[in-house]
Amino acid sequence: MENFLAFEVTQAENVFSRGIVRKQSDSLKKDHVRVQVEYSDINYKDALAATKNGGVVRDYPKVIGIDLAGTIIESNTHSWTTGQKVLITGYGLGISNDGGFSQVQDVPAEWLVEVPQNFSTKEAMKFGTAGFTAALAVRALEKEDPEKNAPILVTGATGGVGNTAIALLHQLGYTNITAMSSKKTQADWLTGLGASDIQAPAEILPEKKSPLGKQKFAAVIDTVGGNILAGLLPLIQYGGCAILCGNASGITLDTTVLPFILRSIKMIGIDSVQIEMTQRKQIWQFLAEHKTILEKLSYQEVELTDLEETIESLLNGTHTGRTIIDMGVSK
């Protein structure tokens, strides 16, 4: 039996706790593999999972972490062999099953994606669910075929999904990208990623919302939802689209049907959790082919034993860029 460290949350009799625990591997289940986790990353969803009544974890105790990447060290299926480099994002990882904040994790074989060639486990987790979601949103926008100089807005621009979307759009040749962010201190960084303009919500949204406003954007990649999204829908150009991939500002949407029936706009939802495997592999290959954007993205690296500060910054809205977690097993 192998001993390893993991970050676990537990709640019993209304008492919530989180922190590092030492665990031991059990016998490997059929059609499962055992992964030595080299890197994970931390998302807003993970921060919620690390919070009492966060609405993410389904039962306790639970090792959280919705992403992982590492090497197979044991396999109980013919589909995978030891030594293969693999990654997982989504499914029930860190939600219904123990997750990626662990030096070793047993996972269903059907969840695995082989790490693309010329792509490391560390690079995969620099993207993680945030990068995967951004790529899904950008690919959805490409299907709508806007002109390369069409005005595109990305909300939540300093978050992991937003800044990755901006960098991908820029690399794909889009030249008129507005980054919505209240963090004007990050303006130079966002411009370096490819944003042509940085505006706070108050600079874009009218003081008085109306069913139809001035047509400003051909497409919106929205990572925040709530009142921000409701205010943006009337500003989308005829035949444009809103691509939805986050709800940091709320899950309710107070709007009218007029932008949809009078301007023929589309609202496209992005799911990064249960997306089918063929497209999942395509997206990871797409990210591997565009990994040079990682040189521009902001990220920090922490140890498994030092997650508290990142969790709090995500919950407080002060976190910028991406944070990856070195499990300390690959050195």
Q: How far apart are CA 140 and CA 234, in angstroms?
A: 20
CA distance 223 to 138: 12
What whole-number distance in Å separates Cα of residue 69 and Cα of residue 212?
45
Q: How far is residue 190's CA from residue 135's CA, in Å, rounded to a whole number?
A: 18
Instruction: Give the mean pLDDT of the chain.
Output: 94
Residue 55: its pLDDT value, please? 87
For range 275-280, the mean pLDDT: 96
Rounded CA separation 226/240 (Å): 19
**pLDDT score of 316:** 86
Task: Tell whether omega for the bond before 61 is within 30 degrees of 0, i.e. cis.
Answer: yes
Q: What is the pLDDT of residues 66-89, one digit of tens each?
A: 999 999 999 999 999 999 999 999
Query: Considering the entire predicted model, what is its pTM?
Result: 0.94
Strands 197-199 and 113-114: unpaired
pLDDT at 116 over 70: yes
| Residues contacting 11, CB < 8 A, separation 6+ | 17, 52, 60
Could you tell me the two tokens for 156? 């939540």
